[in-house]
């Protein structure tokens, strides 16, 4: 009888434990607001880039500074039923200050992951909840050896892509603005004598992407010990800083 009572008591304890573990957690626990999705939301960025070409070895082929606005303008559901937000990318004309639409992308989110689709390449941008040290397959929807053309030159932009959360909910300053909670994600940090792949993004909680820095560079000068921005022969260096949003 005592044995039966013990088993029954243990069963009640386990059932209660399961109920406790299965309770619904608030959205704030998952930190979905690092990747906000809402029609009408816009973000304006200062983008500075240096593009390299093998015909001008060691010097940027083109250096540019641009103001870009991204705006969520529509939604649709994909084949899996996930709600996607159509995002318009527009470039500001430096002479007229008018916005010129450039192309469309899309962003989406599930209970566990966030996605960004630009130029028909779907990237897994983050996982929920974001935990420091977490890794995931950011390029699982396409081959990481996919060729991207930069100034007409082929480069494997996503080679060695291995996203990981560097830090989360840390205070910091980006572009002169202070943020209480920043999520930092390093998508790539690999280097050889002939290739460099570095990609870092920072997201502000309740706002979204606040900073992005990419170094996607190749060279054939494998005995050259100069810094990458001096010996690169193809690829680009790119920084994107948030300057306004709603």
Beta-strand ranges (E) seen in 31-147 are 42-52, 60-77, 83-92, 99-109, 113-118, 121-127
pTM, two decimal places: 0.87
User: Counting every residue, how long is the chain?
Assistant: 246
Q: What is the mean pLDDT of the chain?
A: 90
Residue 152 confidence class, pLDDT cut points 50, 70, 90 = confident
Assess if residue 11 is contained within a domain: no
User: Is the pLDDT at 153 greater than 80, yes or no?
Assistant: yes
Assess if residue 231 is contained within a domain: yes
**Residue listed under structure tokens 């406790």:** 20
Bigger pLDDT: 232 vs 43: 43
What is the C-alpha separation between 81 and 170, in angstroms, rounded? 34
Residue 16 confidence class, pLDDT cut points 50, 70, 90 = low
pLDDT for 47:
97
Listed residue (245, 241, 217) closest to 231, CA to CA: 217
Please, how many CA atoms are within 13 Å of residue 91, restricted to the half-sphere of its CB? 10
pLDDT for 23:
66
Pairing of strands 148-150, 83-92: unpaired
Assess if residue 187 is contained within a domain: yes
Listed residue (28, 37, 159, 33) closest to 86, CA to CA: 37
Q: Dihedral of the CA atoms 154, 157, 159, 164 (nearest 10)? A: 180
Assess if residue 12 is contained within a domain: no
pLDDT for 28:
75
Count how many domains the chain has.
Answer: 1
Residue 5 confidence class, pLDDT cut points 50, 70, 90 = very low
User: Is the pLDDT at 121 greater than 70, yes or no?
Assistant: yes
What is the C-alpha separation between 214 and 155, in angstroms, rounded? 14
What is the C-alpha separation between 27 and 109, in angstroms, rounded? 13
- Specify whether the CB–CB gap between 134 and 144 falls below 8 A: no
Range(s) of the domain holding residue 87: 26-245
- Specify whether the CB–CB gap between 43 and 209 falls below 8 A: yes
What is the C-alpha separation between 138 and 237, in angstroms, rounded? 20
Of 22-31, 143-152, 187-196, which range is least confident? Answer: 22-31
Own/partner pairs, 197-201, CB within 8 angstroms, 24+ separation = 197/157, 197/159, 197/160, 197/161, 199/161, 200/166, 201/125
Assess if residue 1 is contained within a domain: no
- Specify whether the CB–CB gap between 224 and 202 falls below 8 A: no
Assess if residue 212 is contained within a domain: yes
Assess if residue 7 is contained within a domain: no
Assess if residue 46 is contained within a domain: yes
- Specify whether the CB–CB gap between 228 and 29 falls below 8 A: no
């Amino acid at each position: 009888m005592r044995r039966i009572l013990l088993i029954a008591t243990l069963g009640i304890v386990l059932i209660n434990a399961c109920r406790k573990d299965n309770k619904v957690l608030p959205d704030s626990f998952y930190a979905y607001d690092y990747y906000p999705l809402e029609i009408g939301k816009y973000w304006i960025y200062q983008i500075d880039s240096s593009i390299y070409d093998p015909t001008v070895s060691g010097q940027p082929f083109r250096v540019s500074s641009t103001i870009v606005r991204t705006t969520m303008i529509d939604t649709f559901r994909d084949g899996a039923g996930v709600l996607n937000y159509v995002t318009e990318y527009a470039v500001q004309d430096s002479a007229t200050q008018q916005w010129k639409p450039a192309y469309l992308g899309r962003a989406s989110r599930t209970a566990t992951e966030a996605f960004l689709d630009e130029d028909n390449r779907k990237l897994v941008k983050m996982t929920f909840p974001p935990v420091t040290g977490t890794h995931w397959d950011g390029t699982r929807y396409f081959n990481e050896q996919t060729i991207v053309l930069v100034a007409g030159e082929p480069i494997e932009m996503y080679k060695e892509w291995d996203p990981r959360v560097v830090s989360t909910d840390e205070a910091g300053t980006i572009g002169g603005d202070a943020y209480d909670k920043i999520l930092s994600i390093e998508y790539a940090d690999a280097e050889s004598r002939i290739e460099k792949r570095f990609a870092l993004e920072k997201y502000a909680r309740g706002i979204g992407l606040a900073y992005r820095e990419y170094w996607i560079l190749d060279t054939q000068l494998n005995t050259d010990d100069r810094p990458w921005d001096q010996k690169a022969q193809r690829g680009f260096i790119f920084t994107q800083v948030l300057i306004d949003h709603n």
